[in-house]
Amino acid sequence: MFRRQKLSEAQVYDVLKTVKYPGYTRDIVSFGLVKSVQVQGQNVEVMVQMTTNQQDVATKIQQAAAEALRALPGVGTIQVEVRGKDQAPAGAPTPQPPTSNVTPLPGIQNIIAVASGKGGVGKSTVATNLAVALSMVGLRTGLLDADIYGPSIPLMMGVHDKPQVSSTNRILPFFNHGVKMQSLGFFLGENTPVIWRGPMVMKAVQQLLQDTD
């Protein structure tokens, strides 16, 4: 008697790896969208959790996944459920923002990061103008220059003095244009190169953050 080959979850995942996310070359498995696969005999159930609520994208993924799974030898019924961002599975934990488990800095309510992987594109200019603008609308604002290799906030904010330390051994920030500020540039001479790497850079940033009053 002919017996159909039993399907496995590994086979299903291999097939789903051929289903590309619409508009991308990566598949829905590598994107981490496939949240569960159940195989009961020859029947397959798949649950995909989207990170958006785009119904057209969800429909394309559902159709592409079902079509790909139909190519499995001996497959029976196929059920592909695609949930939108706001349709979390029952009993699933509420998604937390990436910084939900990070201890904030004492006394700091909001943090805005200005960053770029390329130098000379205007990070310091944007950060300086943003800090001054926020100060002008009445917000208590601080500006931290985390550029270790080329700190330019002292020049942009017009401060060239050396920092002082309080009686509690905390660094006193400079104040100009309505903004308190801190930068490694205050501790270095002009045009002094910094050749630190890895842990030393991180330690310097942590000290500027945590040891400034």
- Please state whether 178 falls in left (phi above 0), alpha (psi between -120 and 50) or beta: left
pLDDT at 165 over 60: yes
**Other CB atoms within 10 A of residue 180 CB:** 18
Q: Is the pLDDT at 175 greater than 90, yes or no?
A: yes
SS3 61: helix
Q: Report the percentage of the chain scoring pLDDT > 90.
A: 42
- Reply yes or no on domain 9-83 having CATH 3.30.470.10: no
Per mean pLDDT, which range of 137-151, 166-180, 185-199 is the poorest? 185-199
Confidence class of residue 101 from pLDDT cuts 50, 70 and 90? low
Residue 125 has pLDDT above 50, yes or no: yes
> Which residue is it, tokens 């060239």?
160
Separate counts of helices (H) and strands (E) for the chain: 5, 8
pLDDT at 48 over 90: yes
Predicted local confidence at residue 4, as pLDDT: 56
Which one is predicted more confidently, 119 or 182? 182
Nearest C-alpha neighbor of 134 from the set 111, 158, 155, 159 = 111
Delimit the domains of the chain by residue range: 9-83, 141-210
pLDDT range class, residue 120, cuts 50, 70, 90:
confident
Question: Which position has the higher pLDDT, 77 or 210?
Answer: 77
pLDDT at 191: 63
pLDDT at residue number 3: 53
Does residue 154 contact residue 147 with C-beta atoms inside 8 Å? Answer: no
Instruction: Report the chain's terminal Cα–Cα distance, integer Å.
Output: 81
Can you name the residues that pair with 146 across neighbouring β-strands?
none
What are the tokens at 66?
């079902």
What pLDDT does 2 receive?
45
**154 SS3 class:** helix
Name the CA radius of gyration of the chain, rounded: 27
H/E segment holding residue 165: strand 164-165
- The least confident of 98-107, 117-126, 164-173 is 98-107
pLDDT at residue 56 greater than cutoff 60: yes
